[in-house]
């Protein structure tokens, strides 16, 4: 088994309990999908989801003949399938083109403060924050736009923050052909804020370190760049 180190730090009890569950399920880092998950077309999915969402709204007591509400089921369904959960479909996997590390740069490369917007799979509410990435090139470097595409692909699914961190790191390891990858996510889980247990500034910090980043010195160096 490859060596890895994952950390989850939550700052309140509610989130901690959720993260323990998350950490448990994060031992399988793939998003679990049904075998027939992609048998339907996007249009069929949108149609079915819109119908169910209409039921939810109606059950809550909302009057769906009201102008501002009547388009909501369809809008939500489209947003789920085409936008915020589009990373579930293997068809949307980004094409990655690497550039040659022609200067043979062998030190740490850091990309920090990459905007993150994902969705918590326990409450279907936003996880918003920043991703920081570091790696030591074994011959290739990745462009910022490709890095952002990888992050988006995994973020656009129902997620738990710990698993998202691991999925991004694993993808980078395979694309860059090195274990020397570190990923940190610093984010606000809005399910905690909105449900009134938390103040808005409460953030959750998740990390995934591989290869050279397992050494305390490398880790410290990386953390000092993103501090």
Name 22's Cβ contacts closer than 8 Å, sequence gap at least 6: 8, 160, 161, 162, 163
Residue 96 and residue 135 in contact, taking contact as beta carbons nearer than 8 Å: no
Q: Of 114, 194, 124, 121, which is closest to residue 159 (Cα–Cα)?
A: 121
Is the Cβ of residue 19 or residue 191 nearer to Zn ion in the bound state?
191
Q: Which is nearer to Zn ion, 14 or 69 (CB)?
A: 14
Strand ranges inside the chain, DSSP E: 4-9, 98-100, 108-120, 126-136, 140-142, 158-159, 181-189, 204-210
Question: For residues 24 and 122, which CB has a smaller minimum distance to Zn ion in the complex?
Answer: 122
Select the residue interacting with Zn ion from 70, 93, 106, 122 (CB under 5 A). Answer: 122
Are 127 and 120 contacting, i.e. CB atoms less than 8 angstroms apart?
Answer: yes
Place of tokens 């010195």: 217
Minimum CB distance to Zn ion smaller for 93 or for 195: 195
CA–CA distance, 14 with 34 (Å, rounded to integer): 29
The nearest distance, CB 123 to Zn ion, in angstroms, is: 4
> Least CB distance from residue 97 to Zn ion, whole Å?
35
Give me the least distance between CB of 120 and Zn ion, in Å please: 3
- Decide if residue 195 touches Zn ion (CB under 5 A): no
Contact flag: residue 123 with Zn ion (CB under 5 A):
yes
Stretch that binds Zn ion, among 85-93, 173-181, 190-198, 204-212 (CB under 5 A): 190-198
Q: Is 120 in the site for Zn ion (CB under 5 A)?
A: yes
Q: Which residues bind Zn ion (CB under 5 A)?
A: 120, 122-123, 191
């Amino acid at each position: 088994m490859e060596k890895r180190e994952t950390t989850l730090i939550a700052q309140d009890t509610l989130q901690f309990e959720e993260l323990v569950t998350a950490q448990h399920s994060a031992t399988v880092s793939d998003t679990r999908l049904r075998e027939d998950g992609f048998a339907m077309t996007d249009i069929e999915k949108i149609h079915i989801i819109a119908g169910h969402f209409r039921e939810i709204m109606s059950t809550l007591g909302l009057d769906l003949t009201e102008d501002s509400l009547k388009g909501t089921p369809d809008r939500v369904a489209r947003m789920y399938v085409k936008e915020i959960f589009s990373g579930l479909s293997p068809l949307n996997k980004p094409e990655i083109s690497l550039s040659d590390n022609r200067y043979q740069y062998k030190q740490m490369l850091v990309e920090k403060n990459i905007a993150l917007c994902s969705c918590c799979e326990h409450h279907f509410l936003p996880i918003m924050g920043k991703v920081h990435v570091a790696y030591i090139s074994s011959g290739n470097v990745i462009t910022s736009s490709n890095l952002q595409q990888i992050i988006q692909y995994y973020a656009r699914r129902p997620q738990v923050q710990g698993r998202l961190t691991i999925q991004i790191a694993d993808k980078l390891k395979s694309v860059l052909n090195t274990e020397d990858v570190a990923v940190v996510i610093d984010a606000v889980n809005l399910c905690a804020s909105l449900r009134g247990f938390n103040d808005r500034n409460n953030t959750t910090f998740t990390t995934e370190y591989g290869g050279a980043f397992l050494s305390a010195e490398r880790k410290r160096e990386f953390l000092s760049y993103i501090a």
